[in-house]
Structure formats: structure tokens, C-alpha cells
Structure 1
């Protein structure tokens, strides 16, 4: 007999924006489950909200989870934390790398738009994408199977 949805529990997991992050995993590794966030970006996000580098997902407080959720839902409009003794205007830097961060569907849409632009312009890269060939100078004699799978414009994700 299959378990029903009510019987499935999330013991040992934290749910952040629909992703189940294991409690025992380091936060900087767990954040890489989101498309567009690597280790370096995860460390920057943690530093922005004063979260220790070695914290596990299960050790997060509710306030930290709220900060991470608000940031990951919309990185461009998320509020920056105010440090003691400073105003919010002192934290804004003109070259803040996290201000222009795109993740999940925004990043996927931007990538597909870029590919469509290359194809419309008729550039070399666009023609390679249209023919489902490697785009970045790889050899095609033997190992082009992965590129033929990935360089199709009709991606499912």
C-alpha cells in the first residue's frame, strides 16, 4: 500500500521555497540546490545575512530562514540587513554582485532569450545552437553527443 500525502513527513528536512534541504547538510552546500547558485554565491549570501560559514541547515533560526527565503524569492528587491551603527544607505555599493542575481526560472528564461537572440542575429554561436553542435569550440569528431542533446532550443526545463 502506498503512503498518502498526509503520511509523508518532512523529518530531517527544511523546506525553503519548495526545496527540501537536509538538516545535516552544510548550508553553503545546500544552497547550491537552487539553479544559478554555486558555492561562491552561497558564501556571499551567507555573509550578507551574517550566517556562519559552517552552519548546518538544521541549526538555522526562524529569522535566518525568513531572510534567506525573502532573498531567494526576489534577490533584486530583497532588503539588505542593517548593521548596528550604520544606515541602510551606507551598505549600498554600486557594484553589488548580489543585486543582479538571477536564479531558477529567471535565469533559465534569460539563457533562452540569449540563445534566441544569437539565432535571430545569425551569429556563429546562433548557427551552432540551431544545428545542435558544440558552441564553445569543442571538437566534433568523437564527443559531440552531449552538445547535441543540450544545444537544442526546445528544452523542457
Structure 2
């Protein structure tokens, strides 16, 4: 068993499913975390190296302070680096970029919008788990109670909030049905 931030991760579970034992991490977020740390889909907790466990623990403890993932994919196994000098590669790159800009002929505001769409913010930076998320949920419920909303009143009375029927509601509905039949 791996013990990370107060949560036991069973050795025989896949990492992407073991991460869901943290309060606030679902399947989608767990898959994103696995992708960030380059853990494949069939990786089990027992297969993690101590470095990976440490990196995972440090990320989960403070996602805002963690480094962003690389923007460019890593090289494929069959990649061979170029033997050309850097200055020659730079001139080729600038020539290709200039050709692309001439071919595009799109207005600058549209190019800016396309460029901004490609660079999306890292959604894992705002990740809140365990105690921090529980505190946010408690504050939201307290706010609902304070403003006197319907949801807040149901929370205060200990009733279901999302439209579930309680046994009392079911009994009341049965009584109402009986009364309606006699009328």
C-alpha cells in the first residue's frame, strides 16, 4: 500500500482508479493527472517508482505551485536529431514561418484569437482535494443557509436537497392519493 497525503492507495489497483479515492478527484481528473506524469493506462500503484510517488504527492499537496507540463510532446523513439548547425535551422524556420504568414492572409485579430485558443490554461492548477475542497463545500452550504434559499433551508432541516423523495414524502403522497380517490 502506498500512503499519499493521508489516503491509502491499494497496490493492486490501477493508478487512474486509485487516484479516485481522493475526495475531489474523479475519473476524468485522474486520467489528466496520469497523463501529466506520463503514467500509462495499465500502470498499477505497485509499479510506480519512488520518484513518481514523490512527484505525485508533491503535485497533489500544492497543484498551484507545481510546474506546468511541457507544451511540446516528447520525441518519438525513432527520432534522430539534425546535424545541421543551429543558425541554418533558424533561418529555415523563419523562412517557413514567413511563408505561412503570407499564405494565411487572415486579419491579425483572427490570428490572435486562434493563437489564444491553442494555449489553454492548465485546469489542474485549480485542483482542490480533501480538506480544502470539504471546506469550500461547507462554506457554500453555510452561504446557502445564511441567505435563506430553498436549498439552504433543506440543508438546515436535514432533508434531501436534490429532489430525492424521503419516506415521509412517500407516506404523505400515499395519504393524498387515498384522499383524492374518495373525493
Could you tell me the TM-score, scaled by structure 2's length? 0.62
Aligned counterpart in structure 2 of residue 124 of structure 1, from 150, 171, 174: 150
More contact order relative to length (CA 8 Å, sep ≥ 6): 2
Corresponding residue number in structure 2 for 1:64: 52
Corresponding residue number in structure 2 for 1:14: 2
* Aligned 1:1-157 pairs, distance under 5 A: 13-82=1-70, 93-94=120-121, 96-142=122-168
Corresponding residue number in structure 1 for 2:173: none
Number of residues paired by the alignment?
A: 127
**Change in CA separation of 1:103 and 1:80 when aligned onto 2, cut-off 3 Å:** same
Unaligned residue ranges in structure 2 (runs of 5+): 75-117, 171-183
- As a proportion of its length, which structure holds more helix? 2
Cα distance in 2 for residues equivalent to 1:84 and 1:113:
39
Structure possessing the higher radius of gyration over alpha carbons:
2
Could you tell me the TM-score, scaled by structure 1's length? 0.71
Deviation at 1:111, TM superposition (A): 0.4
**Superposition misfits of 4+ residues, deviation over 6 angstroms:** none
Unaligned residue ranges in structure 1 (runs of 5+): 1-12, 145-157
Deviation at 1:62, TM superposition (A): 2.2
Deviation at 1:64, TM superposition (A): 1.4
Cα distance in 1 for residues equivalent to 2:125 and 2:6:
23
